Amino acid sequence: MPEKLTYPSLNSYLRKRFGTKVYKVSLNAGFTCPNRDGKVGTGGCIFCSEGGSGEFARSGTDIKEQLAEGKAFIASKLPKEEKPAYIAYFQAFTNTYGPIDVMRENFFEAINDPEIVCLSIATRPDCLPKEVLSLLKELNEIKPVWVELGLQTIHERTAKYIRRGYELSVYDEAVSKLTEAGIEVIIHVILGLPGESKEDMLETVKYVGKSGAKGIKLQLLHVLKGTDLEKEYKAGKFNTLERDEYIDLLCECIKVLPKDMIVHRLTGDGDKKLLIAPLWSADKKAVLNEISKYLSPI
């Protein structure tokens, strides 16, 4: 295994920026996705579960109630004297795809909460029309706004296989427009996509590092129950990464990223009720402990 490396962690960045420990409250605003409703496709991305990557988001459509429930749940696990701050994370599905007035209502409900220090909005690069960019810019003048884009890979053959539904040039344009509007951009990359070599994955990470994004989420490929990826996996068309293989790959990713790029995630959670593979990833504590032997946050 490689030597121990350091990386700019999200926790350290948040504490330095906001002066306290910051926690994310995952929200479901009730949106859908153009890759599900027929505009781009109907099946969604091949790896995406029924929950639209929002299995850990709160339920319901009332953002105020979801925030209250999420904050109460987090606070219940903390010492009484701790006064945390929160990020409102619009996680499930595509959160800039839908009626602009609904977006405005949802986002302002969250940003006006005094305990919310930042909005983080998950979406697709092809769902950022002018009126949405204008709304995000308006919100960003009140409190910081992050936009999280699901790139996953720069390789067109893989993008077609996973049914991503947009070309790389769309991603480039989205990052450029968001950056121009003063919005911080965070990119999701999946490591271990079928057919991709280590070199392919590192090419994607290098590209993200040079694209203008401020942060990256590195995500282990999970095979979840009920997805088309599950069918491919059970048909023996690919294997998922082993733990040591994944950690070695993480280290290589850190080496090629800009030294100031914030690493928002080093792995990810697959809902244990849905997880098919890799099963070693279900023990998150053990995985993070193993990663910490080789990667140290700063």
Q: Rounded to an integer, what distance in angstroms lies between the CA atom of residue 28 and that of residue 106?
A: 10
Give residue-wise pLDDT tens across range 15-62: 999 999 999 999 999 999 998 988 988 888 999 877 545 445 555 669
On the question of a cis peptide bond just before residue 278, with omega within 30 degrees of 0, the verdict is yes
For residues 165, 101, 214, 284, the Cα torsion angle rounded to the nearest 10 degrees is -70
- pLDDT band of residue 281 (cuts 50, 70, 90) is very high
Query: What's residue 48's pLDDT?
Result: 85
Most confident segment among 73-82, 142-151, 265-274? 142-151
Give residue-wise pLDDT tens across range 73-110: 999 999 988 889 999 999 989 999 999 999 999 999 99
> Quick check: helix, strand or coil at residue 259?
coil
- Quote the percentage of the chain above a pLDDT of 90: 87
For CA atoms 137, 110, 131, 34, the dihedral sign is positive
Among left, alpha and beta (phi > 0; psi -120 to 50; other), residue 86 is beta
Query: Where along the chain do its domains lie?
Result: 5-297
Class of the CATH domain delimited by 5-297: alpha beta
Q: Rounded to an integer, what distance in angstroms lies between the CA atom of residue 156 and that of residue 10?
A: 30
* CB-CB contact of 242 with 1 (8 Å): no
pTM: 0.93
Residue 40: C-alpha distances to residues 121, 164, 242, 250 (Å):
20, 9, 33, 32
Give residue-wise pLDDT tens across range 192-243: 999 999 999 999 999 999 999 999 999 999 999 999 999 999 999 999 999 9
